[in-house]
Chains A and B, each alone.
Chain A
Amino acid sequence: MKPVARRDGLLTRDLKDELLVYARDEHRAHCLNHTAATVFKNADGTRTVADLARLVAPEADRTASEAVVGETLARLAEAGLLEGDPAATGWSRRDVVRRVGIGAAILLPAVASIVAPTPAEAAATCATSCASKADGTPCTCFGANPCTATCVSGTCSDGGSC
């Protein structure tokens, strides 16, 4: 198996020991730790899992490092950063942690993801109008109970005039 990381429609920024990835189509942002970034950058369809394992942890036990790569590929796939589905390793995450051991836990992959907000969602102060506001945005529409009202489907939850 030679995994291929997604390349299209992505914006990437290298940080020290981390990689930021922004998927333009889905407006999802991801932070990859060192292990996840190494696998992501090198999964180009020419390297096997064993090759990637040697890049991630050249000193580590082969079975353990391949388990780490398998786990990394699963996380990248979950985040939509892998072309196709990774082959199942047959190992659970708990198995991977146990196999790698506490001392080498730093090798474990981490992929933190968010959906980037729309301008209205990010700027949502207590809205004075529910128009174009995300559901749940606190609002102070005229006639609403100003202590509890929120926007729901573009109108005020308790009947206020927006």
Chain B
Amino acid sequence: MGSLPSMMPRLRPGSARTGRIDRLGWRAGTCFDAYGLRVGVRTNAPALLDRLGPHLPPGWRACASPLVDQIFSVWVDLDDARRPSRVYAGRSRRVRTADLAHAFAVLESEIRQSVAAGAEHRTFVHAGVVGWGGRAIVIPGRSRSGKTTLVAELVKAGALYLSDEFAVLDGRGRVHPFAKPLSIRGASGCDRHAQARRAEELGGACATRPLPVGLVVLAEHRPGATWRPERLTAGQAVIEMLAHTVPARLRPEASLASLERAVARATVLKGARGEARELAQILLRSVEEEETVSRHGTGEGGTT
């Protein structure tokens, strides 16, 4: 990753213009690359760049060129810190807030979403992901659907952590790590008071290489429910996952191809779940059983 270079970003020719925001008096900037998308951040308060690192997406790399695809801008009132700061994505103001931590949270979220939409050689699916036995367990779902809770329980049970936000698929359908800290909410489900926890703090570890998908779990949390899932066909699975795929409209052909390859050798289960801890054990056993069946089916490691 390295350190962030100090350079004022400029949009590549053909990128969406930022208009009059360019005239706000930017004094410092930096550029980085994440999953092939070149991103610039500029500010009127150079000291803010020192705080930027922890808010960048996993896997970012410093850029040598100031030409970028997308510019984010952070403006603060240097004379009166109580006055609101502003965050812009391109020419669009995303937040106006006197809480600088909130401004950085908005910036972080907007950069991640921009990368998820703009990464040309990866397909980002909104999902939690862990690894077990050399295969990925992918848990697509909307926000507050319990993905992070289930991912955390799987990590506590020994699974490798890949992400609690995005399954990053390559053209072969493998999932790459996007290991930002887990965002764990309290019992109220409150986001503002969510805690960022690293996998290691849960007793787990992060995956360091891409994994083929072994299991896709479409689970809706219903208190007290017993996990009796239905098994989906490959086509049904692709449709279900497409509903959580960030570039679905922007690059439907590539999205469908990645999803199809991802589910080609995966078991896809859909159903209502009860408590995450209980389901985590069931899912890990399920992957192991499928792996055993697969090994015997191919003769690999069999006793014939």
Residues of A bordering B, CB below 8 Å: 11, 13, 15-20, 22, 24, 27, 29-33, 112-114, 116-120, 122-129, 131-132, 137-142, 146-147, 161-162
CA distance A112 to B93 in the complex (A): 38
Given A13-B256, A122-B243, 18 additional A-B pairs, CB 8 A: A11-B252, A20-B256, A22-B252, A32-B235, A114-B242, A117-B243, A120-B113, A122-B245, A122-B246, A122-B248, A123-B124, A125-B143, A131-B92, A137-B143, A138-B143, A141-B95, A142-B99, A161-B96
Contact with A along B234-266 (1 / 0, CB 8 A): 111011001111111110110011001000000
CB-CB under 8 A for A29 and B239, given A123-B124, A126-B144, A140-B192:
yes
Partner of B109, one of A18, A127, A142: A127
CA distance A118 to B250 in the complex (A): 8
B94 within 8 A of A: yes
Q: Closest Cβ of chain B: how far from A161's Cβ, in Å?
A: 6
Residues of B contacting A32 with CB < 8 Å? Answer: 235
Query: Are A31 and B116 also in contact (CB < 8 A) when A129-B95, A131-B93, A146-B193 are?
Result: no
Contacts of B190 in A (CB 8 A): 146-147
**SS class, residues of chain B in contact with chain A:** mixed
Closest Cβ of chain A to B272, distance in Å, is 19
- What are 27 A-B contacts with C-beta separation under 8 Å? A13-B256, A22-B256, A27-B248, A30-B239, A31-B233, A31-B238, A112-B239, A114-B239, A117-B248, A117-B249, A119-B247, A119-B249, A122-B244, A122-B248, A123-B112, A123-B124, A125-B112, A125-B143, A126-B194, A128-B105, A129-B94, A129-B95, A131-B92, A138-B144, A142-B98, A142-B102, A161-B96
Task: Quote the shortest CB–CB distance from A146 to chain B (angstroms).
Answer: 3
Which residues of A are found within 8 Å of B235, using beta-carbon distances? Answer: 15, 18-20, 31-33, 112
* Chain A CB within 8 A of B83 CB: no
Segment 185-216 of B: residues with Cβ below 8 Å from A: 188-194
Chain B residues with Cβ under 8 A from A140's Cβ? 105, 191-192
Residue ID in chain B nearest A120 by CB atoms: B113
Which residues of the other chain, B, contact A118 by a CB distance below 8 angstroms?
249
Shortest CB distance A40–B (Å):
13
CB neighbours (8 Å) of B246 from chain A are 117, 119, 122-123
Which B residues are CB-close (under 8 A) to A11? 252-253, 256
A residues in contact with B124, CB < 8 Å: 123
Partner of B94, one of A20, A122, A131: A131
- Chain B contacts of A141 at CB under 8 A? 95
Q: Is the CB of A123 within 8 A of B126?
A: yes
Provide the residues of chain A in CB contact with B247, threshold 8 Å. 119
**Most B-side CB within 10 Å, residue of A112, A117, A161:** A117
User: Which residue of chain B has its CB nearest to the CB of A116?
Assistant: B248
Residues of A near B126 (CB, < 8 A) are 122-125
Contacts of B256 in A (CB 8 A): 11, 13, 20, 22, 29
B63 at the interface (CB under 8 A from A): no
Known contacts A11-B252, A122-B245, A125-B109; is-contact A31 B143 (Cβ 8 Å)? no
Bound: A128/B243 CA distance, A: 22
Q: Is the CB of B252 within 8 A of A24?
A: yes
Residue of A nearest to B126 (CB): A122
| Distance, CA A140 to CA B98, complexed state (A) | 14
Q: Kindly state whether residue B117 has any CB partner on chain A within 8 Å.
A: yes
Q: Say yes or no: A13 contacts B94, CB within 8 Å.
A: no
| Assembly CA distance A118 to B242 (angstroms) | 11
Q: Which 3 A-B pairs have the closest CB atoms?
A: A146-B192, A18-B235, A119-B117
| Chain B residue with the shortest CB-CB distance to A23 | B252
Min CB gap B29→A, angstroms: 21
**Contacts of A30 on B, CB cut-off 8 Å?**
239
Q: Which residue of A lies closest to B164 (CB)?
A: A125
Chain A residues in 8 Å Cβ range of B166: 123
Residues of B within 8 A of A162 (CB): 94-95
Contact across chains for A119 and B116 when beta carbons are under 8 A apart: yes
With a cutoff of 8 Å between Cβ atoms, the chain B residues found around residue A161 in the complex are 95-97
Interface check B110, CB cutoff 8 A: yes
Please tell me if the beta carbons of A129 and B248 are within 8 angstroms of each other in the complex. Answer: no
* The residue from A113, A117, A126, A142 contacting B143, defined by CB atoms under 8 A apart: A126
Which residues of chain A are within 8 angstroms of B194 by Cβ–Cβ distance? 126
Chain B residues lying within 8 Å of A31, measured Cβ to Cβ, are 233, 235-236, 238-239
